[in-house]
Structures are given as C-alpha cells and as structure tokens.
Amino acid sequence: MGDDYENIAAIYLRAEGYEVIQHNFQCRLGEIDIIAKKDGYLRFIEVKYRSNAVAGLPQEAVTFQKQRKICKTATYYMMKQKYSMDTPCCFDVVAILGNEIKLYENAFEYCD
C-alpha cells in the first residue's frame, strides 16, 4: 500500500516540475522514499499517508528522529553516487491526507 502512495506522490511531484531519479533508496542506515532534482537542488523526499487525521497529520510523523535517519541515508546516497558534499540539497515531505496532497518543500534542515 505504501508503494501506491509513493507512486501517487511521484506523479504529483513530476507535475510540480520535479525530475524523479529514484524510488525507495535503501541501505543499512535507512530508506528514502523518493530522490529527485528540482531548481538545482538534489531533493530527498519523505512520503507520509493518513486516511484521516484521527492519528494525527501525516507530516507530523516525520519526527526529529526520522529526519536524522533520512539525513544520514542521504549522506550515504550522495557518497555512493559520487555527488560532491557541496551539492545543494533539501528535504521535502509529501503529506497525503485522504485524497489531499500537500508538498512541504524544504520541510526540515540537515541534521546529524
């Protein structure tokens, strides 16, 4: 089911001008749902879905601990793909609540 929402998010991101370059990057450090490029930035995107807000908003599930894991995984990805550590990056969140999609560009800063 998560893959379905990641595919929906990828379609949405393409319509917003993102060039999706990878889905579900995984390593021992963690996973990044979507990696894309837009506006000269390498973007690491977390996708969160909730059918309703009873358990909280989807973007609230991207906790500081989750952010740290995404950042470490992003660093590993950049090293593995031979990106310079000077490559401009940002961390976005696609929150899907029911049928509504909201994009949070630069949702959080790099954290180590």
Global pTM exceeds 0.85: yes
Domain locations along the chain: 2-108
Q: pLDDT tens digits for the chain (112 residues)? A: 568 999 999 999 999 999 999 999 999 999 999 999 999 999 999 999 999 988 899 999 999 999 999 999 999 999 999 999 899 999 999 999 999 999 999 999 998 7
Side-chain-side CA neighbours of 30 within 13 Å: the count stands at: 18
What pLDDT, on a 0 to 100 scale, did the predictor assign at position 111?
86
Structurally, at CATH architecture level, domain 2-108 sits in 3-Layer(aba) Sandwich (3.40)
What pLDDT, on a 0 to 100 scale, did the predictor assign at position 89?
97
What pLDDT, on a 0 to 100 scale, did the predictor assign at position 2?
62
What pLDDT, on a 0 to 100 scale, did the predictor assign at position 112?
76
Contacts of 92 (CB under 8 A, 6+ apart): 43, 44, 45, 46, 103, 104, 105, 106, 107
Record the tokens describing residue 88, joined without a space. 């401009």
Contacts of 1 (CB under 8 A, 6+ apart): none
What pLDDT, on a 0 to 100 scale, did the predictor assign at position 3?
81
Cβ 21 vs Cβ 10: under 8 Å: no
What pLDDT, on a 0 to 100 scale, did the predictor assign at position 26?
97
